Amino acid sequence: MQVHFSKKRKLFRLDTEHISYLFRIGPSGELRHIWFGSRIDDDAIIEEFAVRRGTSSFSPHPEGLSPEDSLDLLPLEHSTYGAGDFRITASALRKENGTSVTSAVYRSHKIFKGKKKIPGLPSSFSQSKDSMTLEITMEDGFSGAEIILSYSVFADSDVIARSVRVSNPTETVIRVEKLLSAQLDFHSADFDVVYLKGMWAKERQAVRHPLIPGIQSFSSSRGATGHQYNPGIVFAEPSASEKAGDVYGMLLLYSGNYIAEAEVDQYRTLRALIGINPENFEWKLEPGETFYAPEALLFFSAEGLGGLSRISHRFLIDHVIRSPWVHRERPVLINNWEATYFNFDDKKILKIAEEASKLGIEMLVLDDGWFGERNDDRSSLGDWFVNRKKLGNLAALVRKINDLGMKFGLWFEPEMVSENSNLYRKHPDWVLCVPGGRRSIGRTQMVLDMSRRDVVDSLFRSISSVLHSANIEYMKWDMNRNLTEIHSRLLPPDRQKETAHRYVLGVYELHERLLKAFPNLLIESCSGGGGRFDAGMLHYAPQIWCSDNTDALERISIQLGTSLFYPSSSMGAHVSVCPNHQTHRTVPFSLRGHIALGGTFGYELDITRLTPDEKDLVRKQIRNYHHWNRIIREGEFHRLTEGFGRSDFAAWCWVSPDRREALAAAVRKTSEPCGINPPVHLRLRGLDPEMLYELDDHRRAHGRTLMNAGIRIPNAETDASSILIHLKAV
Ligand code: GLA
């Protein structure tokens, strides 16, 4: 890893083991992007990349410079609004005189060891000897604001972490209308774009298609990342596959309104941007203040989509997820939601725990309905005290569960309030709404104004008092509707557009405070399943409930789509009952186990009603989980089929860091008559070619054979057939 500045060439160079990132200072102080990709040398040759020809009077240039210096032509590090670059831009700062025209002119830079935290926001971390940061101060010549770009590189990963902040050293107010976290200008637009789309119960379905001229973007204005898209974007050369080809990625560490944009311009080059969604956003910067935009990670792999995913997984585990649980085997849990919904009492919960403990399950998670007077979803959110009528004394119940050898976890939905709740009756002004205006209700609940300190303080007090009251080792943090009528009663009119971002800062602050008070608390994040599955949330919660859709066949494309950026150890996955509650489909119990094994693993069904055969399978699945979780948690993940699990046959594998062990899973969704499914030779990846491996049936083969020829997968005789293959070096 190194960061270097050549005074002679005015050129910045960042290198990690396999990648280089270069840019230089241009004649008007602009930063011209030169290269991002595989490692290269010879600055002099590639310096020319920062020059583009093809000028016209319609691309004006800075006075005193040549037409080739038009900002409309150049590949830039940080483009600004209104000063000659007509493509999508990264920033717009409005001054007192009303203009939003902005420039970014190099003033100074510093290079230092380590990496700073971003105040109030999640950010990647490292030991100071393991990372280096380049900070460049640019000036907006129109307002005097400082735009500070930050680039960090890491000793152990091919990732560049970027962020940006704006400081106001002037005497007057400056308004940040737009400040995107990272810009990547490419010299060509010959890429497929890959991203994750979805909806509730069908999150993160990977899509891939060629870029076309014009702007393509996806975003959220829901106040959370949302089920619909995910804040990450990938550009893959058209021939790139899971295993080969140049692939670039951008991933935002943020859980609120974001945008990812790609513009193919008139010169058939590509500009990509990612950051806070500028729609209905603005931040008032008083003299002396600084605004921090969230961090974005830039990835590059020459080893295809699979290579990019592995870089992202490793980086999130090593540098983003800060929970002490990240490297620990998570307890096998049983969640009562699909078993009981709201219909439970302490006796029923204890019965589930007793049965579960006999089978080897290690933690009971009590889901929605334990608090206030909540017997359905129409009341009590915000009343975070135990419903004694239903549960008696919570501490006593938890003790009984602990006596069974099990841990105990509890569900909360901190950000919400029901109209029918003590909290709302006492503080009707605490919700987001436009005073005197119409308001929207979702699941009969309203959203608390998390931008308010008094709201965050009160939630901290009520939630920590429950967490102190019993031995609660896990918290499921849910969020079941999106934000509407985003207006905060405490903010003045000219700061209302700050509310959505301040909301997210409040959510992060509550996480910070709870984790400071309960450092070992295992938080599983959730938002109607995977409606807020992002790297920002993962900073605080090492796992996120992947989807409310627990159908094992549906989960394949959900989990493989999620794996574009996020590691298996971050995906909440449970075995649930059939017919499945979301799709009404019935699939074998063994398949449900194979799919849940690919996440944090647990059960979400009425365990007291399982047949003896199913109970035997539960015991076996839990044994497998203990045997294999280390590989799944810490190993390299390879998707063995193209298409992110959306085709009929899908397979994937994990390989242990020392390559001595691997676990592969393969699923065929539908069977065909007469065994006409072509025989599949499943070619594994990531093994050591020289090593001799033994399969569970004692057959032996070298890594080379297993990767080049593969293993024959039996024909499917029924729908939804699956197989797990375990290999160990001998
Ligand atoms: C959301 C979650 C579910 C469950 C319910 C409870 O939908 O995703 O897992 O916790 O809320 O209301």
For the cut 80, the answer to whether the pLDDT of residue 675 exceeds it is no
179 and 281 together in one domain? yes
Distance 386 CA to ligand 1 centre (A): 18
37 and 179 together in one domain? yes
109 and 166 together in one domain? yes
Residues 670, 675, 677: CA angle, nearest 5 degrees: 55
Spatial contact of 542 and 194, defined as CB atoms under 8 Å apart:
no
Which of 444-472 are b and which e, b meaning 16 or more Cβ less than 10 Å from the residue's Cβ? ebbbbbbbbeebbebbbebbeebbeebeb
CA 26 to chain centre: 35
In the chain, the amino acid numbered 281 is: F
Beta strands in 253-305 (DSSP E): 258-264, 270-276, 283-285, 290-292, 296-301
**Residue 364 pLDDT class (50, 70, 90 cuts):** very high
pLDDT (average), residues 140-159: 97
Q: Which atom of ligand 1 lies closest to the CA of 367?
A: 10
| 411 assigned to some structural domain | yes
| pLDDT at site 46 | 84
| 513 assigned to some structural domain | no
238 and 104 together in one domain? yes
Q: Which atom of ligand 1 lies closest to the CA of 527?
A: 8
| pLDDT at site 657 | 97
| 139 assigned to some structural domain | yes
Distance 418 CA to ligand 1 centre (A): 15
User: Which residues have CB under 6 Å of ligand 1?
Assistant: 337, 367-368, 411, 478, 480, 526, 528-529, 545, 548
Decide which of 319, 341, 368 is a domain's last residue. 319
| 662 assigned to some structural domain | yes
Name the residue with the closest Cα to ligand 1, atom 2.
Answer: 528
The Cα 380–Cα 368 span in angstroms is 11
366 and 278 together in one domain? no
| pLDDT at site 395 | 98
We report the CATH number of the domain holding residue 661 as 2.60.40.1180
Name the residue with the closest Cα to ligand 1, atom 7.
Answer: 528
| pLDDT at site 149 | 98
The sign of the dihedral angle between the CA atoms of 231, 237, 239, 245 is: negative
Decide which of 319, 350, 367 is a domain's last residue. 319
We report the CATH number of the domain holding residue 308 as 2.70.98.60
- In tens, the pLDDT along 31-76 reads 999 999 999 998 888 888 888 777 789 999 999 999 999 999 999 9
660 and 706 together in one domain? yes
pLDDT (average), residues 133-143: 97
Residue 247's beta-bridge partner residues?
Answer: 236, 301
| 9 assigned to some structural domain | yes
Distance 478 CA to ligand 1 centre (A): 7
Among candidate residues 71, 88, 4, the one with its CA nearest the CA of residue 31 = 71
Decide which of 319, 353, 376 is a domain's last residue. 319
**Residue 714 pLDDT class (50, 70, 90 cuts):** confident
| 550 assigned to some structural domain | yes
Least confident of 150-164, 220-234, 262-276, 702-716: 702-716
- In tens, the pLDDT along 507-519 reads 999 999 999 999 9
**Residue 189 pLDDT class (50, 70, 90 cuts):** very high
CA 355 to chain centre: 35
- In tens, the pLDDT along 606-662 reads 999 999 999 999 999 999 999 999 999 999 999 999 999 999 999 999 999 999 999
DSSP string computed for 471-514: T--EEEE---S---S---TTS-GGGGGGHHHHHHHHHHHHHHHH
Residue 227's beta-bridge partner residues?
Answer: none
We report the CATH number of the domain holding residue 613 as 3.20.20.70
Distance 619 CA to ligand 1 centre (A): 26
Distance 287 CA to ligand 1 centre (A): 44
Number of domains into which the chain is organized: 3
Distance 532 CA to ligand 1 centre (A): 13
288 and 350 together in one domain? no
| 501 assigned to some structural domain | no
Among candidate residues 29, 34, 61, 59, the one with its CA nearest the CA of residue 46 = 34
Distance 528 CA to ligand 1 centre (A): 5
Spatial contact of 488 and 432, defined as CB atoms under 8 Å apart:
yes
Of the residues 344, 367, 415, 537, which should be mutated to test ligand 1's pocket, given the most ligand atoms within 8 Å of the CB? 367
For the cut 90, the answer to whether the pLDDT of residue 318 exceeds it is yes
Q: Which atom of ligand 1 lies closest to the CA of 529?
A: 8
| pLDDT at site 676 | 63
pLDDT (average), residues 193-204: 98
| 680 assigned to some structural domain | yes
CB atoms within 10 A of CB 395: 14
Q: Is the peptide bond before 579 cis (omega within 30 degrees of 0)?
A: yes
Please give the residue range of the domain that contains residue 692: 649-729
Distance 341 CA to ligand 1 centre (A): 9
104 and 222 together in one domain? yes
Q: Which atom of ligand 1 lies closest to the CA of 377?
A: 12
277 and 373 together in one domain? no
663 and 607 together in one domain? no
| pLDDT at site 58 | 93
239 and 170 together in one domain? yes
Distance 404 CA to ligand 1 centre (A): 26
Spatial contact of 381 and 444, defined as CB atoms under 8 Å apart:
no
| pLDDT at site 519 | 98
| pLDDT at site 678 | 61
The sign of the dihedral angle between the CA atoms of 37, 43, 44, 48 is: positive
Name the residue with the closest Cα to ligand 1, atom 3.
Answer: 528
Q: Which atom of ligand 1 lies closest to the CA of 548?
A: 8
694 and 582 together in one domain? no
| pLDDT at site 299 | 98
Q: Which atom of ligand 1 lies closest to the CA of 604?
A: 9
Distance 545 CA to ligand 1 centre (A): 9
**Residue 713 pLDDT class (50, 70, 90 cuts):** confident
CB atoms within 10 A of CB 349: 22
pLDDT (average), residues 547-576: 98
Name the residue with the closest Cα to ligand 1, atom 12.
Answer: 368
Mean pLDDT of the chain: 96
Distance 371 CA to ligand 1 centre (A): 15
The Cα 413–Cα 477 span in angstroms is 6
Catalytic residues: 478, 548
Q: Which helix (H) or strand (E) holds 655?
A: strand 649-655
